[in-house]
Amino acid sequence: MDPIDGEIRRALAVDPSPEFLARVRTHIASEPVPGRRFPWMVVAPAVFAMALLAIVLIVRRTSAPAPALLTARFPVGAVGTMPAVESVYARHARDAGTRFEELAAPKAEGRRREPEVLIAADEAKALRQLILGVREGRIDLARVLEATPITAAEPAPLDNIAIPPITITPLAGEQGVRQ
Amino acid sequence: MHEYTDRLAGRLVAVNAELEQEFEARLVESSTLAFRIAFSVLRHRQDAEEVAQEAFVKAYRRFSQLRDRDRFRAWLVRMTWRLAIDRQRSDRRRVAREHDQEAAPSPTAADELIARERAEHLWKAIDALPEKLRVVIVLANMEEHDVADVARLLSLPPGTVKSRLFLARQRLKEQLQWTQ
């Protein structure tokens, strides 16, 4: 053994006091038991289950169909005043309404991936009422169309263009004379 | 449901009792080690005991992760060393005193004086070592640790421990001419 090591061992040959262990035990007795993990064993799975449930609910809510529109709640067939023969305007209005509904309530998959189409609430309401009115026969668009008849613009009659005859006046003086 | 919770509670009580028994065994076998490590830095019995006690309390709080004996001792050594260094730095006045009070008692006053002088020189030389050399030379001279033990306690390769031991001894010899 190296003499240095011998010296160090002698210097380190110091033992703790007899009360040392008792003091450590007393101190540790006031500590919470390290293995007492009962609350965590119960709380952790509960928190995990709640988080999982919340995620499932959020996913289901986002993938659920959009709430029914006013037009869907009042089916056209249920209205007694509907004319027996569907007018052309009503058909146009219905098609427009269908397109409008597609715009106003896009499919859930599309809604998640594409930006939402924003339509002013009052404009949407007015448009819905117009479409419903046309479908139910309360509004007749024929008068509106008649009031502003669409006519093809006819060109105004043109006068004949008068082209004066071309006259060539001879040059004054002698011609072909070299100077 | 009640039966399940009762069984679970009973099992947990048994686990707690088992953990406490294991910790008691670790405490008994490692108390001197922790104390001596703290003492090698502080050279003050009471301070060393306080630091060792603090290390054991910390170890107790984390004992569920330190049940393996080797892991526990390695963690305890590092924690005690770190706490002792922190204590030394926070209270420099203690370092200036009590260098030789804890030396082994000598039969005569003359022997005691020589031993004190030697211990004082030795500790001064050890204190002058870089920390990574100091901890290696201290651990190597404690509880019959060999190179492999020190390497395990400090999570170092044995080759690194050997080279640090060599360097530490060399520097100590340079400073302690009286050992030649």
Residues of chain B contacting A17 with CB distance shorter than 8 Å: 45, 49
Q: From residue A92, how far is each of A72, A96, A98, A134, B1 by CA, in Å?
A: 18, 6, 10, 10, 65
Q: What is the pLDDT of residues B133-142, one digit of tens each?
A: 999 999 999 8
Q: How far apart are CA B145 and CA A137, in angstroms?
A: 102
- Chain A nearest-CA distance from B155, in A, is 22
Mean pLDDT of all residues in A75-93: 54
Domain hosting residue A127, numbered range: 67-147
Q: Which ipTM value was assigned to this complex?
A: 0.73
- Higher confidence at residue A172 or residue A115? A172
- Higher confidence at residue B2 or residue A158? A158
The domains of chain B are located at: 1-98
- Residue B66: predicted pLDDT: 81
- Chain B nearest-CA distance from A50, in A, is 20
- Residue A78: predicted pLDDT: 47
- Chain B nearest-CA distance from A51, in A, is 23
Token pair for A4: 């240095």
- Asked if A29 reaches chain B (Cβ–Cβ under 8 Å), the answer is no
- Asked if A125 reaches chain B (Cβ–Cβ under 8 Å), the answer is no
Residues of chain B contacting A8 with CB distance shorter than 8 Å: 122, 126, 137-138, 141
Q: What is the pLDDT of residues B107-128, one digit of tens each?
A: 567 777 887 888 888 889 999 9
- Chain B nearest-CA distance from A52, in A, is 23
- Higher confidence at residue B47 or residue A92? B47
Q: Is residue A164 part of a domain?
A: no
- Residue A79: predicted pLDDT: 47
- Asked if B98 reaches chain A (Cβ–Cβ under 8 Å), the answer is no
If pLDDT is split at 50, 70 and 90, which confidence band does A100 have?
low
Q: How far apart are CA B141 and CA B150, in angstroms?
A: 10
- Residue B13: predicted pLDDT: 62
Cβ proximity of B67 and B76 under 8 Å: no
Cβ proximity of B80 and B156 under 8 Å: no
Q: CB-hemisphere CA count at 13 Å for A2?
A: 13
What is the number of domains present in chain A? 1
Asked whether residue A151 carries a pLDDT value surpassing 90, the answer given is: no
Interface test with B, best of A7, A37, A40 (most B CBs within 10 A): A7
Cβ proximity of B140 and B169 under 8 Å: no
Q: Is residue A92 part of a domain?
A: yes
Element (H, E) at B53: helix B45-61
Mean pLDDT of all residues in A51-70: 75
| Binary contact (A11, B122; C-beta < 8 A) | yes
Q: What one-character-per-residue DSSP string does A20-83 give?
A: HHHHHHHHHHTSPPTT--HHHHHHHHHHHHHHHHHHHHHHHHHHSPPPPPHHHHS-GGG-TT--
Q: What one-character-per-residue DSSP string does A127-165 give?
A: HHHHHHHHHHTS--HHHHHHHS---PPPPPPPPPPP-PP
Least CB–CB distance from B16: residue in A7, A28, A35 = A35
Interface test with B, best of A2, A5, A9, A12 (most B CBs within 10 A): A12
Q: How far apart are CA A93 and CA A96, in angstroms?
A: 5
How confident is the prediction for chain B on average, in pLDDT?
Answer: 83
| Binary contact (B53, A25; C-beta < 8 A) | no
- Residue A155: predicted pLDDT: 75
Closest CA to B118 of B108, B128, B107, B103: B103
B107-128 burial: b if 16+ Cβ within 10 Å, else e: eeeeeeeebeebbebbbebbee
Q: Is residue A41 part of a domain?
A: no
Q: Is residue A156 part of a domain?
A: no
Mean pLDDT of all residues in A61-75: 58
- Residue A65: predicted pLDDT: 59
DSSP B62: T
If pLDDT is split at 50, 70 and 90, which confidence band does B96 have?
low
Asked whether residue A45 carries a pLDDT value surpassing 60, the answer given is: yes
Report the largest interatomic distance among the alpha carbons of chain B, rounded to a whole angstrom: 76
If pLDDT is split at 50, 70 and 90, which confidence band does B15 have?
low
SS3 B150: helix
- Asked if A68 reaches chain B (Cβ–Cβ under 8 Å), the answer is no
CATH of B1-98, one of 3.40.50.300, 1.10.10.10, 1.10.1740.10, 3.40.50.410: 1.10.1740.10
Asked whether residue B160 carries a pLDDT value surpassing 90, the answer given is: yes
Mean pLDDT of all residues in B138-161: 92
Asked whether residue A68 carries a pLDDT value surpassing 60, the answer given is: no
Mean pLDDT of all residues in B14-22: 76
Residue type, B94: R
- Residue A96: predicted pLDDT: 64
DSSP B144: T
Cβ proximity of B164 and B133 under 8 Å: yes
- Asked if B64 reaches chain A (Cβ–Cβ under 8 Å), the answer is yes
- Is residue A110 classed exposed, middle or buried when 0-12, 13-18 and 19+ CB atoms within 10 A define those classes? exposed
- Asked if B20 reaches chain A (Cβ–Cβ under 8 Å), the answer is yes
Alpha-carbon dihedral of residues A26, A29, A31, A35, nearest 10 degrees? 140
Least CB–CB distance from A34: residue in B56, B64, B137 = B64
How confident is the prediction for chain A on average, in pLDDT?
Answer: 73
